[in-house]
Structure formats: C-alpha cells, structure tokens
Amino acid sequence: MSSLDMYVTEGSLPAADNQLVEKLSILVDTLIPRLESLERAVSGQVSKPPAAARADSFNTLLVRIEEIAANMARLEKKVESMALPTPSNMMDQPAARPVTLPKRPIPLYSEKVAAAPNPGLPKGLPPVPPSSYINRFKLGQVVIRKKFDQPKPFEGLTAAKICQKINEALAFAKATIDNETIEVKAVAQFPNGDVKIYTKDRRAAKWLLDNKHLWTTKADPVFVTSQVTHPVLLHSCPTSFETDNKEHVELLCKQNDIDPKEIQKIRWLLNPKTSGKATSTLLIHFLDRRLALDIERAGLCYNNLHLKGQHYLQGPKQCYNCLAVGHLAHSCKGKALCSRCGANHNSASCEEMEDSVEQTVRGFILTPLRQNSLFFVSAPLSPRSSPLDSLVTGSLVSLLSVSSRWSCSNISV
C-alpha cells in the first residue's frame, strides 16, 4: 500500500453519485437470486428433466454463469474507480495525518557484522581452483645418492637412455601405485654420480626412495643402494651385550617377539670399553617404520631389564677434512684444516700437537713465578681485594703445583 492509499483509507471516503449507488444496489439484488438458483442446480435439488430439457438447462446455466462473470467484472471496475481518489476530492477533503509509528530499535553490532559481507574477500574475483588443478604440472622429484666408494652409475649414457633403463627396472620390480605403473619422466645426473628423478607426483617419488634397493641394481649393476632404515636408541643396556654376537641379537629378538630379519644393524652409540660404564646406549636400525615407532614409545626388554626407547636424531654432518658442516670428507673440495694446531693438514696426521703441549708444560715448569703475578703466593693484594680473592689464589696455586708434578713425572718417564 502506498502512502497515498494510506491517507485515503484513514480519512473519510469521497462522495459517490446517487445514481451509481442505485445501480449497484439493483445489480446486487438481481445477482443474489441468480446465485441461489445456480447453487440449487449444482446441488441437485431441482428435479432432473429429460435428456433434451437437460441440455437446454445446461446451456441456460452456462449463459447465466457468463452473465454473472461479466456483471462481477463490471462491479469490480466500478468499485476500483470509486476507491481511487481524484485530485478534486483530495483538494476538497484534507487528508488525515498518519499515526506516528514507533521507532525502530538500533541494530546490534553483531547483527551488522552478520549481515555485512566479508570485507577481506575481494569482490568480482573467480573462485580459487583446487590444489590438484594448481599442481597439475608439478612433478615429484627425488635424489638417489650413490655410495662414496662406488663408481658413477650410468656412465656415458644420455638422459633418454637412463630413463629407459630405470623404467625397465621399475617394470621388473612391479612398481605400482593404485594399480598404475610408476614411470620416470625425466632425469638429471650430478657430477658426483647422484641421480635426480622426476615422476608424475610425490607419491611415486616417495615409493622410489623407500624401495630404491629393489630397482637400482636392475637399472645399473654398479648402482647399489641400501634399504631405508629407521634408527632407535635403547638406553641402559648392559655392556655385556655384544653387538657382533649373533646369539645375543637373537636372544633380544626372541624376548620381544621380533623377527631378526627386521634388524639391519646394531652398534653402540658410545664405546662402552673406553667409558668403563656398566650400561650404555644401543643404536638399532630397523627396516620396518611401524616397528621402530612402537619401540620408541614402549621400549624393549632384555634379561629382565627394561630398555627405554628414544627416537634417534642424527646431528649435522661435519667434514673432518675442512671442519665445515653440511658435507662429508669424501665429497669435500676444500683445503684441509687441522683441528689441533690450525695448520693446513688433516687432524689425524697432526704430530705437532704433542710436541707443542710438551714444550708448553716444560716451559711453565722451568720458568720461575714472577712477583706481583696471580700465581705468586707472596704477591701483595690490591686494597680492593677481599678474603675470597686470597682463597681463590691459594686454590689456583695448589692446583697448578699438582698438575706440574704430574707433568714432570710423565716427561721423566
């Protein structure tokens, strides 16, 4: 309803013509009996005439219904024309003012935020495609490293020939993921002999890395790789356990229901012979990843002793040739550096360290203590010194004298 209609309905109706009112009343009076007769005819109260008369009555009924419809249409038009205000009527009768409506409550901040669109999202941009569509051209890649004491694999072969050999080896090893054979799309070989392989996706690259021992020798007999292992630390193991003794290893596996074939290698983390301890830490390399995780959480039992398990985190690789971190000595291209004397030679071949230590000890013993030095007992203390300073000085002198006697005895021997 518009504002104009609201003003008219709340005010007085406009004056209607008397002739029009009389016509409407007559029309209504004639319409009522017709509707009553129509209702009686439909309800079956009127006696049924014969077939011919029944057809005539039906036609008559249709004619009356059409007349009623026409009269109703004219009546609706007249009522609408009477209800619509004319400019003259509006000027004659002042419209009543509408009733003041109550004020709308102020919307809450939460309602505004919920109704407002997200301002962070850009408008008019297409939806972000899925990751599978974004990475459809991204290949999986993995580097298969050779052992440093082995010759370079695929020597003198082109990339196409290397791909062909690797694909043949994968077909022989039945390398499949979801019943789909893994194929190599491209390769690249580093100067040291390592091979970088490009596959369809990351899952295929991970399969090639985890099962490299199954296909590398088939691709090239020189390209020998070992199976991926999962190291676990076992603490508080008795040092009577011999890692090279097969019976000790089988006993450990038997007491914990482990197949000995699942263990690739066992060694001590630190040499127990040099430490002289009753217990030490074992480092076991398992072939099954799930088994290694279970042992890390629960540990193992050996001769009624519980060996606590722990995940082994290998430290950074350090080259003993140049002392740099990040690579090993077999792939080092830098100059040798001694960790003892700092000269340009390997630390293992250093012979000057022992001579320099011996000369230092002899010079310290033979050189008399100067007065006013820290190690001279009769040296006067500064006025700011405390009794604690004298105590520290005496301790240092006694410690130095003991070490000097021990050094002299070793030198004399």
pLDDT in tens, 196-212: 999 998 999 999 999 99
Residue type, 300: L
Unique residue bearing structure tokens 């009553």: 36
Q: Write down the pLDDT at residue 128.
A: 87
Is the model's pLDDT at 184 over the cut of 50? yes
Domain 230-311 fold is Alpha-Beta Plaits (3.30.70)
Which is more confidently placed, 305 or 149?
305
CA distances from 104 to 2, 6, 107 (A): 20, 20, 9
User: Could you give the CA distance from residue 15 to residue 12 in angstroms, rounded to a whole number?
Assistant: 9
User: Could you give the CA distance from residue 306 to residue 299 in angstroms, rounded to a whole number?
Assistant: 7
158 confidence band (pLDDT: 50, 70, 90): very high
Are the beta carbons of 209 and 228 closer than 8 angstroms? Answer: yes
What are the residue boundaries of the structural domains of the chain, listed by start?
3-92, 137-219, 230-311, 369-412
Q: Write down the pLDDT at residue 381.
A: 46
Q: Give every CB contact of residue 408 below 8 A, 6+ residues apart in sequence.
A: 365
Is the model's pLDDT at 7 over the cut of 50? no
Whether the domain at 137-219 and the domain at 230-311 fall into the same CATH topology: yes
Helix, strand, coil content of the chain in percent (nearest 5): 45, 15, 40
Q: Pull the structure tokens for residue 221.
A: 């007999």
Residues 65-71, mean pLDDT to the nearest whole number:
82
Classified as helix, coil or strand, 351 is coil
Residues 248-256, mean pLDDT to the nearest whole number:
93
Residues 312-333, mean pLDDT to the nearest whole number:
83
83 confidence band (pLDDT: 50, 70, 90): low
Share of the chain above pLDDT 90, in %: 30
Is the model's pLDDT at 8 over the cut of 60? no
- End-to-end CA separation in angstroms for the chain: 121
Q: Write down the pLDDT at residue 378.
A: 47
One-character DSSP codes across 12-71:
PPPPPPHHHHHHHHHHHHHHHHHHHHHHHHHHT-SPP--HHHHHHHHHHHHHHHHHHHHH
Is the model's pLDDT at 264 over the cut of 80? yes
Computed over every residue of the chain, the mean pLDDT equals 76
Are the beta carbons of 334 and 322 closer than 8 angstroms? Answer: yes
Kindly tell me the burial class for residue 107, based on how many C-beta atoms sit within 10 Å of its own C-beta (0-12, 13-18, 19 or more). Answer: exposed
117 confidence band (pLDDT: 50, 70, 90): low
Q: Write down the pLDDT at residue 226.
A: 86
Closest CA to 220 of 149, 151, 140: 151
Q: Write down the pLDDT at residue 108.
A: 78
Q: Can you give the length of the chain in residues?
A: 413
CATH (one of 3.30.1370, 3.30.70, 1.10.3470, 3.30.460) for 137-219: 3.30.70
- Of 75-79, 220-224, 254-258, 286-290, the range with the lowest mean pLDDT is 75-79
Angle at Cα 210 formed by Cα 145 and Cα 139, nearest 5°?
Answer: 75
Is the model's pLDDT at 193 over the cut of 60? yes
| Burial profile 353-388: b = 16 or more Cβ within 10 angstroms, e = fewer | eeeeeeeebeeeeeeeeeeeeeeeeeeeeeeeeeee
State pTM to two decimals. Answer: 0.47
- Of 32-41, 243-252, 265-274, the range with the lowest mean pLDDT is 32-41
* pLDDT tens per residue across span 125-141: 788 888 888 888 889 99
User: Could you give the CA distance from residue 137 to residue 201 in angstroms, rounded to a whole number?
Assistant: 9
124, HSE (Cβ side, Cα atoms, 13 Å): 0
User: Could you give the CA distance from residue 250 to residue 254 in angstroms, rounded to a whole number?
Assistant: 6
Residues 373-386, mean pLDDT to the nearest whole number:
47
Residue type, 9: T
